Structure 1
């Protein structure tokens, strides 16, 4: 009996020790691996800015980094972007874009423009995914980091006693998404400029500029995380200033690319009696790439009609006096204005109006249609070569 009581006491004393061993919390380092890489404020700002500059590259790099840094047993529970199928697909697409850009320098820029337009929409899709499924996660981790430091915002005086504090994620997530979109729309303008540029060397220079900016951010973070955060804040402030112009360029590039990639859709939506146009220079104080329509006013003259911010009140701007011609272009026609001493391109039509130049000039009461300067140059070269190769005419017989 005594032996049974001793054994029972020993088992009761050993029970707490075994229970403690079974519920032993994981090591702090292993717990931190379950969070996003950007738990610190500086790293979070750097990640959001870097991903905004190149969404596909940024999300794929962060996902691959998170996957390889996590232990093997924790990898199945990682977020979607850290799974091999996600970042692996991203790197495959990036390799295809790199191959297209590498081979594109050896061919005329016009031949690779359709691929550049596809990349334009790929950048939009990547930004949509990143802004909805990646940036909020980074912002939430930034909010957790601040809350761990007891950084809460008192709000009882504003919202009443029912809410003593504001959850920082309610502020961090919208702010991070807005900052991301501001930087992205300015970076996206580079894709639009690549689509509009007819020279492969210019395309490569623009890509190099964006890649160089990403490299500078990475180098600054390697030197000191706070230095990279300061640089990213400067980039965000510059993006706030450039965002309106970049947004107009993004809208113009999207509509231009859709008409090129889906010509049958554009032809069905063409309205030569009130065509879609965009300003190329400052016309009556309007910024470049302001979208609107070219219509006839009550007195029978052509005017430019647009809405402020696309949804506000409608305004009408008369075209300057002088000779106005519709010029045929490689992708789309344009409106040329010739004054007393100079000539300038005022408006550019969407590609859907290519082939409607005569109808545009007749209906809008313009001064005619003419060939593009490049087309005229090609015609002159063709005529010269034909003249050189043409046989001499035989003498007339008497």
Structure 2
């Protein structure tokens, strides 16, 4: 699907006596600009799906390289690397294919494992794959003598210094990769939040279609694929803040589900961890913070801008405020039965602490989630159907 960007060196020069020297892969001869187009296309495609992208590029390069030069290929083009990746991709495919036939909640733990796999793959790709691609792009730019003239000054007068564009290539490629990846990673978070397997399959199909589109456009014209990838990077830069908040929320939510004992130890019902769901006092959705009771008895939402800047507090709206029990985590609801709005979502670690939270923050009690009430009714019905012996009659 993705196009490998490197070729193979010719045979090394040999002297008369020694055996032939070991061949090493090298860059192919490209028309001006083609190497840059191919590199930015690879980086964007790998950012959309790191495991699939790195495995595909590695397998493609391995099979396009003569057998005698394969030992000198980079790590991602070695069979142990792309073979492991393809095995993991096959397991993910089987999970998604078989998962459409089972309830979404039964598949969620595996989706959460895949969420962390996506993070690990992106970490490896950004540190050990993208710099290699960027370095290869820089070599082609260096061959074309690409440089930037910068006027400077020194004691002897004004002069001009030339900055090699290759110095900027690696950090720029890593930033572009992270921008696209964080937006693609948001799809994994939406999958673990969606209760429907068909929606999960649709989201993954959308991501795969985008990845396939990049490959098709590149086959038509490399410069057109590069322009398309630049547009994707600009869109990703605009969506990155929202995607980052969603990624933080998804990581903490999935961590509490997969490691419940760790979350229970860190639960603090007196000032619980929460995330905004709607627009609370102008805050964007999925802003993380804590619920705190001030000395004057006012319950507020306290958060830090960009997680590290100054701390701010937002008072909760007046009226009936209750903690609603959920299937995976509680939430804070506001309003009457006719018009109930969900303001905040607690982390899953606070399941079972609903009464303590409501009592400490002086809220108006705890209520059952409608879906939880439905599950309770089904449970009672099954107990009645499966009960052995005559039912007990109470007067």
TM-score, normalised relative to structure 1: 0.87
> Residue 100 of structure 2 aligns with which residue?
105
Deviation per residue, 1:58-99 (Å, 9 max, x gap): 000000111111111110111000000000000000000000
Counterpart of 2:145 (choices 140, 145, 150) is: 150
Distance, in Å, in 2 between the alignment partners of 1:253 and 1:76 is: 40
Counterpart of 2:185 (choices 188, 195, 205) is: 188
Contact 1:33–1:70 (CA<8 Å) still a contact in 2? Answer: no
Q: Given the alignment of the two structures, is residue 114 of structure 1 paired with residue 109 of structure 2, yes or no?
A: yes
The worse-fitting range, judged by mean Cα deviation, of 369-378 and 282-291 is: 369-378
SS of the aligned residue for 1:40 comes to helix
Displacement, 1:155?
Answer: 3.1
Displacement, 1:272?
Answer: 0.5
Contact 2:322–2:333 (CA<8 Å) still a contact in 1? Answer: yes
Q: Given the alignment of the two structures, is residue 89 of structure 1 paired with residue 84 of structure 2, yes or no?
A: yes
SS of the aligned residue for 1:153 comes to strand
Displacement, 1:139?
Answer: 1.1
TM-score, normalised relative to structure 2: 0.88
Task: State the structure with more CA Rg.
Answer: 1
The count of aligned residue pairs is: 375
Counterpart of 2:132 (choices 133, 137, 143) is: 137
100 and 387 in structure 1: CA distance in 2 versus 1, 3 angstrom threshold: closer
Displacement, 1:388?
Answer: 8.9
Structure 2 unaligned spans of 5+: 1-12
60 and 39 in structure 1: CA distance in 2 versus 1, 3 angstrom threshold: farther
Counterpart of 1:227 (choices 224, 228, 247) is: 224
Distance, in Å, in 2 between the alignment partners of 1:19 and 1:266 is: 64
153 and 373 in structure 1: CA distance in 2 versus 1, 3 angstrom threshold: same
Counterpart of 2:272 (choices 270, 275, 290) is: 275
> Residue 206 of structure 1 aligns with which residue?
203
Contact 2:25–2:72 (CA<8 Å) still a contact in 1? Answer: no
The worse-fitting range, judged by mean Cα deviation, of 377-386 and 106-115 is: 377-386
Displacement, 1:325?
Answer: 0.7
225 and 341 in structure 1: CA distance in 2 versus 1, 3 angstrom threshold: same
Distance, in Å, in 2 between the alignment partners of 1:249 and 1:395 is: 51
Q: Given the alignment of the two structures, is residue 77 of structure 1 paired with residue 72 of structure 2, yes or no?
A: yes
Q: Given the alignment of the two structures, is residue 125 of structure 1 paired with residue 120 of structure 2, yes or no?
A: yes
Displacement, 1:149?
Answer: 1.6
Q: More helix per residue: 1 or 2?
A: 1
Deviation per residue, 1:20-51 (Å, 9 max, x gap): 9899xx9xx9743699xx97011011000000
> Residue 369 of structure 2 aligns with which residue?
372
Distance, in Å, in 2 between the alignment partners of 1:130 and 1:394 is: 66
Distance, in Å, in 1 between the alignment partners of 2:122 and 2:43 is: 11
147 and 389 in structure 1: CA distance in 2 versus 1, 3 angstrom threshold: closer
Contact 1:81–1:87 (CA<8 Å) still a contact in 2? Answer: yes
Distance, in Å, in 2 between the alignment partners of 1:84 and 1:248 is: 36
Structure 1 unaligned spans of 5+: 1-17
> Residue 328 of structure 1 aligns with which residue?
325
What CA RMSD, in Å, does the superposition of the two structures yield over aligned residues?
A: 3.0
